[in-house]
Amino acid sequence: MSANPTDRRENLQYVHDMLEQLKVVSGAREGSILGYLMDMARLETEQQIGSSAETSKKQ
């Protein structure tokens, strides 16, 4: 089952936004492992959103 590229982008954007909010709610300190992992996951979603946008332009 493959998702519509628009749905995928919207889902990734939702995950990105939630990761930012979770970092605030968790009280993760700067330099903490928890904060680092959430930042890395957020950066990964940004990269995936960019890849998704490039793929949809090619189609």
Predicted pLDDT at 59: 66
Per residue in 7-26, pLDDT (tens digit) is 999 999 999 999 999 999 99
Q: Which residues contact 28 (CB under 8 A, 6 or more apart)?
A: 34, 35, 38
Structure tokens at 37: 């992992």
Predicted pLDDT at 15: 97
Q: Could you give the dihedral angle defined by the CA atoms of residues 30, 35, 37 and 41, in that order, rounded to the nearest 10 degrees? A: -110
Predicted pLDDT at 1: 47
pTM: 0.78
Q: Where exactly are the structural domains of the chain?
A: 5-58
